[in-house]
Amino acid sequence: MKKTISIALAVVLVAVFVTGAMAFGPGYGAGNGYGMMGSNLTPEQAQKFTQFQKDILPLRQKMLQLKTELMALRTQTTPDWNAIAAKQKEMVDIRTEIQKKATEAGITGFGPSLCRGGKGMGMMGMGRMGM
């Protein structure tokens, strides 16, 4: 009897650990996926993409700042919905500017999922920007 209970307990523990590993293991969802840099780029394309990343870095930093400010506005006991709407509009404007720069740089398919293999702005795993 004790042997059967021990085996059943071992099977349950293995199932729990396997489920956890599958849920949190490496994957191509949110996180640091391969995106554009994981594809077969020519040296010229890789250089163009690297330059593009450098060009949009200030915009991405501004987007992160706005995201932080937006979270702070949303967690207030009485949220200022006009301020929240204004922050969201700023974020849309920055996202549009990044997409415009991507088009100008000849980088096709830029936007959510381009560089992270899941959701997000790409390159550095900023998470889904559709807050």
**Which of 52, 47, 60 has its CA nearest to residue 103?**
52
Prediction pTM value:
0.54
In a domain, 116, yes or no: no
**Which residue segment(s) compose the domain that 97 sits in?**
32-104
What is the percentage of the chain residues whose pLDDT exceeds 90?
A: 39
Q: Model confidence over 83-92: pLDDT tens digits?
A: 999 999 999 9
Over residues 86-116, the pLDDT tens digits come to: 999 999 999 999 999 998 888 876 554 444 4
Give per-residue pLDDT as tens, 59-73: 999 999 999 999 999
In this structure, is residue 3 part of a structural domain?
A: no
Instruction: Report the alpha-carbon angle 120-25-18, nearest 5.
Output: 145
pLDDT score of 53 more than 80: yes
Identify the CATH number of the domain in which residue 81 sits: 1.20.120.1490
